[in-house]
Amino acid sequence: MSAEIAGLLRLSGSAVMGAGQAVISFDPPNARQRWEVTGAIISTDQPATATAVPVAAVVLNAADRVPVSQGGKRSHSWDGNMVTLPLRVQAGPADSVAVVFTDPGAASAESGVYLDTYTATYPGTAMDGTVCYATITGTRYTRRA
């Protein structure tokens, strides 16, 4: 019989946007560990008064935003500038939790439904070079033999 030991999960990372997106990926380090992610704290280096900031999505098992199925998406922000997203994501040893930042115009153009008014207002907004930050929080469970 194996037992699990629970511990605090708090991991952070950063990425620079290029080609309209940035991906910060988090993976359980071994086959004996699983995670329950209960929150994501996201921000960018854009000023609080910026009119254009990236949007962010928390996804399970998707290294890139295209294509991210609705089943893979766990949460999505209106913008990615200092947002805390409540979550309930179960990640096993073979899973990956990623925070994907995208240019709001690109997100709208691909989905056809998200931020359409933004695209009309700020066509061709370039977010490349924006530094994006993400921290995930929750509980890590380590199985003992």
Instruction: Check residue 116 and give its pLDDT.
Output: 36
pLDDT in tens, 51-84: 778 888 888 887 654 545 555 555 566 555 667 7
What pTM value is reported for the model? 0.78
- Which residue range(s) make up the domain with 110? 10-144
* CATH number of the domain that residue 116 is part of: 2.60.120
Residue 20 contacts residue 128 (beta carbons within 8 Å): yes
Q: Is residue 2 situated within a structural domain? A: no
9: tokens are: 């999960």
Instruction: Check residue 101 and give its pLDDT.
Output: 84
The bridge status of strand 55-60 relative to strand 33-44 is: unpaired
C-alpha distance from residue 15 to each of 6, 25, 92, 133, 145 (Å): 29, 10, 24, 7, 36
Instruction: Please name the residues in contact with 34: beta carbons below 8 A apart, sequence gap of 6 or more.
Output: 28, 90, 91, 92, 93, 140, 141, 143
pLDDT in tens, 18-32: 877 888 999 999 999
HSE toward the beta carbon, residue 30, CA cutoff 13 A: 5
Q: Is residue 5 situated within a structural domain? A: no
What does the DSSP 8-state code read for residue 69? -
Instruction: Please name the residues in contact with 111: beta carbons below 8 A apart, sequence gap of 6 or more.
Output: none
Q: What is the mean pLDDT of the segment spanning 110-127?
A: 45
Q: Is residue 138 situated within a structural domain? A: yes
